[in-house]
A and B are shown apart, each in its own frame.
Chain A
Amino acid sequence: MLTLRNLGKTYANDVRALEGFSLTVAPGEIVAVIGGSGCGKSTLLRLISGLDNASRGSVELNGDVVRQPHPLINLIFQEPRLLPWLTVANNVGFGLAEIEGEDRRQQIELALKKVGLADLAQRWPKELSGGQAQRVAIARALVTQPEVLLLDEPFSALDAFTRADLQDHLLGIWDETRPTLLLVTHDIDEALVLADRVIVMRPWPGRILDEIKVDLPRKRDRTSAAFETVKRQLFKALDTSLQLS
């Protein structure tokens, strides 16, 4: 159970990026956070991941307060951020420093299989396409079996075709072990295809404006009437958010 209590962040330049953000995410739930640029979405994930410290409020995972990077929480960035001096396999194994030998090799292979890149294990990052690199980043995060996976606009740099493909892939992976997913996006369809709930944010300072439940069975048909109804609802909320910014 991931609990955010009254989370707030004021940066050194006095920008109030986040204010009074409270949210509880159940194990295995998929929550999307949506909002315009500058709403504090990245700030939110940086606080949960422990990369930055909150100015106010707290992040708790199963009752433990999170103040620094936590073994059960991992973050996938907008860019793959692979380490260019490591092969694909060693990038995936980056988080397995304590595990060696055959065990390590198997875990890496398993994670690469999950993202469908087992053949590319010995490649260098420079030899990958954008979509492949982001899949390696996902495998790198999965290999440590996080309970909470944070994703900061993970597919926004990819073309529409690759993006849809990776969204399906992510759902498949999620279905295997059911980690908690907290996904930041600015793509309405992406939020509605993936999430159980969509949190709409508003800026200055960043906080929750609205919350929309997506009670549709997966895998979702983007053209169904029910999908369209929720989409309209979300559009309206976003419109309000944009007018406030």
Chain B
Amino acid sequence: MADLAETGIKTEVKTSRSIAASVFYGATRQATAAIIVPALGLLFWEVSVAAGWFSGRLMPPPSRVLATLWTLLKSGELFNHIGITTARVFFGFVLGTVTATIAGAVTGYFGLARRLIDPSLQALRSIPSIAWVPLFILWFGIFEASKVALIAVGVFFPVYLGVSGAILSVDRKIVEVGRIFRLSGFTLVRRVMMPAVFPAYVIALRSGLGLGWMFVVAAEFMGASEGLGYLLVDGQQLGKPDQIMAAIITFAIIGKVTDSLLMAAAAPFLTWQDSYRREG
């Protein structure tokens, strides 16, 4: 009987592995298919500019964008801009995440707090966040504080919604297990609620981080002399589309890298998750 169960489990593991494998190969094939059209487009553009059909002044060919990227990289200028922008996102993300986690935990856990605070936060959420810019400049000046504040606002709402929603939807059945073992108050929160909401929390942090990268651009449009957003504005004002595109590519890369770092940091705590396949 025990043997039977053992083999049963082994086959199960094997099938789930081969499912994962086929999903992986399927995804690779899909990625290959997805890349064909943009690759052809880039190639076409490169060739047509080289052949002199278009000037490529406003739409620089890939080679020119890469060359600009290389120049910026070699001079160390790019790292400087990346460093400044990342620091702004970092501080805004930390500030937004900490406040959102506290607010979300309080409103998710205490019904009274939810009735008192949540409606106001939902109302604030419906304001387009960019609308805060003039006010933040008046309040915090045009330097770092107003930028960090704007990013923090952008990060706040997805994290807040994620945390309070996750707490509200913790399975009553699992909370009852805690209660049967006479856990209550903070011990129940620490041993049952916190681990139960952790996967949803990671997702909330990821969308918060994504919005952080979005809002840093808006923040740097407010007037900055350094940062990737400054490269965008500068490129527009001096008519350097290759520089704009180089900055956009850099945004895409560091956005993806920071997201992957976040996932990698959370992964060891999520091995227990019983999902069809792990997100990549």
Contacts and interface: CB of A to CB of B under 8 A. Distances in A.
Interface in A50-97: 51, 68-71, 74-75, 77, 79, 81, 83-86, 94-95, 97
B9 A69 contact: no
B9 A81 contact: no
Interface in B181-196: 181-182, 187, 191-192, 195-196
B177 A84 contact: no
Contacts of B272: 84-86, 124-126
B126 interface: no
A127 B9 contact: yes
A134 interface: no
A27 interface: no
A70 B9 CA distance: 36
B57 interface: no
Contacts of B2: 116
Interface in B1-36: 1-2, 5, 8-9, 13
A69 B274 contact: no
Given A79-B173, A83-B192, A129-B8, A94 B181 contact: yes
Interface residues of B, number: 24
Interface string B26-56: 0000000000000000000000000000000
A131 interface: yes
B181 A84 contact: no
Contacts of A94: 177, 181, 191
B254 to A, nearest CB: 31
A51 B176 contact: yes
Contacts of A185: none
B253 interface: no
Give the secondary structure class of B's interface. helix
Contact of A71 (B182, B198, B271, B273): B182
Nearest to A68: B182
Given A69-B179, A94-B181, A126 B5 contact: no
Contacts of B131: none
B130 interface: no
Nearest to B183: A97
Main secondary structure of the interface of A (DSSP, over half): loop
Interface in A164-215: 165
B177 A165 contact: no
B180 A83 contact: no
Given A124-B271, A124-B272, A127-B9, A83 B174 contact: yes
A49 interface: yes
Contacts of B9: 127-129
A74 B5 contact: no
Contacts of A71: 182
A43 interface: no
A144 interface: yes
**In the complex, which of the residues A79, A83, A85, A116 has the most CB atoms of chain B within 10 Å of its own CB atom?**
A85
B195 A85 contact: yes
A77 B173 contact: yes
Contact of B177 (A70, A81, A124): A81
Interface in A87-132: 94-95, 97, 116, 124-129, 131-132
Contacts of A129: 5, 8-9
B111 to A, nearest CB: 15
Given A124-B272, A126-B272, A131-B5, A83 B181 contact: no
A132 B198 contact: no
Given A77-B173, A126-B272, A49 B180 contact: yes
A129 B2 CA distance: 11
Interface string B259-280: 0000000000001111000000
Given A77-B173, A81-B173, A83-B174, A69 B182 contact: yes
B277 to A, nearest CB: 13
10 contacts: A51-B180, A69-B182, A85-B272, A94-B191, A97-B181, A97-B187, A124-B274, A126-B273, A131-B5, A132-B5
Given A77-B173, A81-B173, A132-B5, 19 more contacts: A51-B179, A51-B180, A69-B181, A71-B182, A77-B176, A77-B177, A81-B177, A83-B174, A83-B177, A83-B192, A85-B195, A85-B196, A85-B198, A86-B272, A124-B271, A126-B273, A126-B274, A128-B9, A129-B9
Interface of A: 49, 51, 68-71, 74-75, 77, 79, 81, 83-86, 94-95, 97, 116, 124-129, 131-132, 144, 165
